[in-house]
Amino acid sequence: MSTTPPLPFDLAAAVTHLSKCDPCIARLIQEAVAFDPNIDHIQSPYEALLESIAYQSISGKAAATIFARIKALSANGGPPTPEEMLKLTKPVLRKAGLSGAKILAMKDLAQKTIDGSVPTHEEALKLSDEELVERLISVRGIGAWTVEMFLIFRLGRPDVLPIHDLGVKKGWSVAYNKKHMPRPKELLAFGERWRPYRTVASWYMWRAFEKAGYAATNKIRPPKIRRRAKKLVKRKKSRSGKRS
């Protein structure tokens, strides 16, 4: 009988802390599905990021089909090793369904894994969040959001706040009864109260977003433009009007 590996932090302490510092989170904790990121402790950083690249900008169903084709190209039936990925030709990978950009990203990931820039799972466990972000975003096609998802769902890091994630931003608007989404800097500042368990708080922002449904969340407006930014927009419009 298999057992789920424990989280690398004390979830009870996280729930207690968030409930005390934020009444809104306390309510969500009572109403929503409990924090359970279903961490995959087997996938290496290389394998996790390879899959992330395959899933970028397309539907989950299409990505799963393409990734299955990519795995079929490996001798072991799993994701191609870094060495195998470097040997696979562009026509073969294009036939599997990858775009040119994704092929370049996967090959760069493979090379940086061999070079040691992309750490092994054991090495990643010893690195800080900041060190991992710095090293992994050096890979072509890998941005901060992808690394944040890796930190949450592969390593189970407790204090990650994806400030650019649409679900987190709209969930925040739902939870705190706001008509607009927060600006990334605004969400970052607001999230200081959740430290050192911003990952768990983000989980409940996602749950708030899901519970509200698309009919409600589609009405949430983009972040408010600051007054200074508004003035700049007006000046540009005025200048363009004069020129015409």
DSSP label of 103: H
Q: How far apart are CA 91 and CA 79, in angstroms?
A: 18
Amino acid (1-letter code) at residue 218? N
Active site residue 115: no
By C-alpha distance, which of 211, 213, 215, 216 is closest to 33? 211
Query: Residues 114, 73, 143, CA angle at the centre, nearest 5°?
Result: 50
40, 131, 133, 213, 228 from 127: Cα distances, Å: 18, 6, 10, 37, 40
Place of tokens 């972000």: 133
Catalytic position from the list 22, 108, 159, 165: 165
Query: Residues 141, 161, 40, CA angle at the centre, nearest 5°?
Result: 65
Residues 6+ apart with CB under 8 A from 53: 102, 105, 106, 109, 141, 142
Q: Which residues are catalytic?
A: 165
